Structure 1
Amino acid sequence: MSDDESLSLDQYKLKESTMWTQRKRSQQLGISGGGGGSGVGQSSTSTNNYDDMFGLEHMENYSIETTALHRKLQSKMEALRILRKELEKFRTERDQFKLMAETLQLRYAALRRNSSFSDLASDVSMGMANGGGKTNVAKILHESRERNIKLTTEVEALKQKLYEVQGDIEVLRNQKSTAEAKKDSTRNGKGNNNKEDVVLDSCSKEVLLQWKQERSNFICHLEQLKKKNAQLAFDLKAVIDEKEELTNERDAYKCKAHRLNHELQVALKAKETHPKFLDIDSIILENKYLNERLKHIESEVDLPKQAVSKYKVLGHSLKT
């Protein structure tokens, strides 16, 4: 209802109240005058007729205005009902889009996992299907850590060997320099020393060839170890990424379970009766425990049945 309509209603109410007060005053004056003349009686009857006509017109206008306001109110209620329907429709569409977005995210994560780490994903999926996904991932991580530790120890040992070989090279260089100095000093007229120098040169050449061969082998071994270390680092990074994805999926499923639990509590009004009326996780775990217990009991029941069947066969064979 607008301000102009409220003002018009107030004005009509004021007019009506003033009219009724005037009518009452005129009636009181007519009663107090008694039968005091025909002119006075005619004037009072004319005023009463005028008041009745004006009151009827006022009531008709008031009823018309009330019907118009009632129609406006009904139209506004219809508009509000339409808006509520549209709001519910938009809410349902929003929920559908949320579900679609969540499914797309899960599909994208699965595709990325399958495209980048197909072998690891297959192993983890098989482990999860068998109920040991976490243990499988932990086992892979443990093995990769052990390999990394072994490789680090091998690298340290090879570094120590490299330092030793470098020390041997320095010793050989010193020996070579001293031999060359002796050769230069004894070159002027000493034939015996020439033979010794030849022997030293041949020995030094053999040592140098052996050292070059060992150095080439050592370099090849170091390159292989570097490749293995890089591969293991890549595998470790892949396993860590896979673990992070699995933890994210686990957290997402936990959030979904929590939201579903909350929605069920709200839907069933569980908070009014008990704050923890429903717990999906506990129900699922209890269901798994009961299924395992049922299987165990069935296996225990099968054992005496088999024993009874064996005894029946033995008794039948003894009778025959």
Structure 2
Amino acid sequence: TPMSSPLVEIDPKTYSDIQTQSLARLLFDTKEANKSLKFEVDDLKQKLHDAGGDIKLLREQIVRSRVGTTDEGMNTRHFPAHEREHLVKQLEVSREEFVQLERDLQQVLDEKEELVTERDAYRTKYERLNTELNYILGGDEKRIVDIDALSMEN
């Protein structure tokens, strides 16, 4: 709307042009607001659709958890009783094999530990015998005899 001042006279034609410009501006602003609201409505529709999908997935997940299966969105397969029994038997056999393999592994590790201990004992005995032999042969530090080398020569 035009500002009227006591000193300035407004021509009705100018007033009409100003009013037309104001209406055009108002129409433009309204169209822009309308576009913005349409985008917002589309965004909210998409969010509503996504939320509906999430709710559906959550309901399926709740049903699966009640049944005892947990496959994320995959086709759920319900096994007949005889198949479940067969699968449970296979699982039990596999479990027994696993336990036996664990025992075997522990046995091998124990044997290895015994062999390492025995090896260390023989190594200590070897060093002691080498020292004794050197002492018996005269104790010459420069002429240390290696039992292995001596036994290889003979």
Larger Rg: 1
TM-score of the two chains, using structure 2 as the length reference:
0.47
TM-score of the two chains, using structure 1 as the length reference:
0.24
Higher relative contact order (CA 8 A, sep 6+): 1
